Amino acid sequence: MSTSRKSRLLLGTAAAVAAVTLSLSGCTNTGTSTDTSSPAAETQQTAKASDGPTCSLADYKGEAIDLKDAIVGFSQSEKEDNPFRIAETQSIKDEAAKIGVKKLITTNAQSTLSKQISDIQDMISQGANVLIVAPLNSDGLEPALKAARDKNIPVLTIDRKLSSGACEDYVSFLGSNFVEQGQRAADQLIEGTDGKAKVAILLGSSGNGVTTDRTKGFVDQVEAKAPDIEIVAQQTGDFARDKGQAVTEQLLQSNPEITAIYAENDEMGLGAQAAIIAAGKVPGKDIQIYSIDGTKNAVEQIVAGSYNGVIESNPRFGPLAFQTLQSFLGGDPVGQDIVIEDGEYDPDNAADKVNSAF
């Protein structure tokens, strides 16, 4: 670990101890920034260059549509009680308004697959010409996809990738490389711990492709690059802060040797932080924390010295999603897999980049 990084971690000790009361009440945001503005250039999604397979309107057998004359349906998968989902939905709404979509229908499946299927079917019955879907799981949406495909309604999936075939059951996937996110989180942890740690992994939801990929990326990278790091426990926290806290409390009791935690989203990482403090330890120092998302709450904790690293998973899909749809509906081929660039936050850059977080 660099000398500057070590000094930043030591400076955060007092801030972590001061956060005890707030953390136990579920509020772990003890960072220093309250400015909610974000530099536009740093918050926009950027697609990586790709020479992979494409999908065109002719391939999909759809019809050219002007989005200003279209009804667009957006199916959100999970209740909007975490920063990622809030930012994702707002980004879709903002961009739809910006480009002048005739009508935007939004639904929320509340983490229930059957509801997401019925939501999509209902939007089709309401005349949706185009669909943007944030899938709950990689599998299970086939009835809804078939209902759209039977009418050749273009479906753009974002955030989570489906097992179904691109340009067959849906047009394209737009989102992050989740395996790479896990690898990059491992790299942060390896550097931050000097390659020596006892690590617990807080897994996302079971049966979710994001969980599978972020786990694989992290575990494989640790095995390849850091033989002195031992993964002592893996347990599901369902991407939720309260479950992340409860699981971490259990893990610290059964594995008191834990010195680092990898959480597969920030909400679980912040829950882990509260559990670490409740156990009488200093987060960021006694037990390091690394996670994926890029929420302002987590990044502010890095600034405070109570958290160690975050790999970004940018939820601001609106501009790139509608740009992709405009290209597709205008007759231009679009990538079947559109992978976005994600940044990262660490003790060396968090203070400067905190206003880019969501």
d(CA 175, CA 142): 20
Q: Percentage of residues in the chain with pLDDT exceeding 90? A: 84
Edge-to-edge strands, sheet with 197-203: 229-236, 197-203, 260-263, 288-293, 309-312, 344-345
Output the CA torsion 102→136→358→251 (10° steps). Answer: 170
3-class SS of residue 96 = helix
pLDDT at 1: 47
3-class SS of residue 77 = coil
d(CA 177, CA 159): 10
d(CA 298, CA 306): 9
Average pLDDT over residues 1-6: 42
Average pLDDT over residues 168-181: 97
Confidence check: pLDDT of 7 > 70: no
Would you call 282 exposed, middle or buried from its count of C-beta atoms within 10 A (0-12, 13-18, 19+)?
Answer: buried
**Contact status, residue 93 vs residue 106, Cβ threshold 8 Å:** yes
Confidence check: pLDDT of 129 > 60: yes
Q: pLDDT digits over 266-315, tens only? A: 999 999 999 999 999 999 999 999 999 999 999 999 999 999 999 999 99
Q: Two tokens at 187?
A: 């790299």
**Contact status, residue 304 vs residue 12, Cβ threshold 8 Å:** yes
**Higher-pLDDT residue of 41, 328:** 328
d(CA 269, CA 338): 28
**Higher-pLDDT residue of 6, 296:** 296
Angle at the Cα of 284 from the Cα atoms of 281 and 289, rounded to 5 degrees: 105
Confidence check: pLDDT of 10 > 90: no
d(CA 297, CA 295): 5
pLDDT at 177: 97
**Higher-pLDDT residue of 338, 81:** 338
pLDDT at 81: 86
Question: 289 forms bridges with which residues in the sheet?
Answer: 261
pLDDT at 258: 98
pLDDT at 109: 97
pLDDT at 42: 65
pLDDT at 254: 97
Mean pLDDT (the chain) is 90
Q: Which of 42-56, 224-238, 310-324 has the lowest mean pLDDT?
A: 42-56
d(CA 199, CA 261): 5
Angle at the Cα of 263 from the Cα atoms of 258 and 268, rounded to 5 degrees: 105
Phi, psi for residue 86 in degrees, rounded to 5: -60, -50
Q: Which of 37-46, 98-107, 152-161, 273-282 has the lowest mean pLDDT?
A: 37-46
Q: pLDDT digits over 65-76, tens only? A: 999 999 999 999
d(CA 341, CA 339): 7
d(CA 111, CA 71): 24
Q: Where are the alpha helices (DSSP H) in the chain?
A: 3-11, 13-18, 20-24, 40-43, 57-60, 83-99, 113-125, 142-149, 178-192, 209-225, 241-254, 266-278, 296-303, 318-329, 350-353
**Contact status, residue 280 vs residue 68, Cβ threshold 8 Å:** no
pLDDT at 208: 87
pLDDT at 44: 86
Label residue 9 by pLDDT band (50, 70, 90).
very low
pTM to 2 decimal places: 0.87
345 conformational bin, left if phi > 0, alpha if psi -120 to 50, beta if neither: beta
pLDDT at 33: 33
pLDDT at 41: 53
Confidence check: pLDDT of 135 > 60: yes
- Compute the residue count for the chain: 358
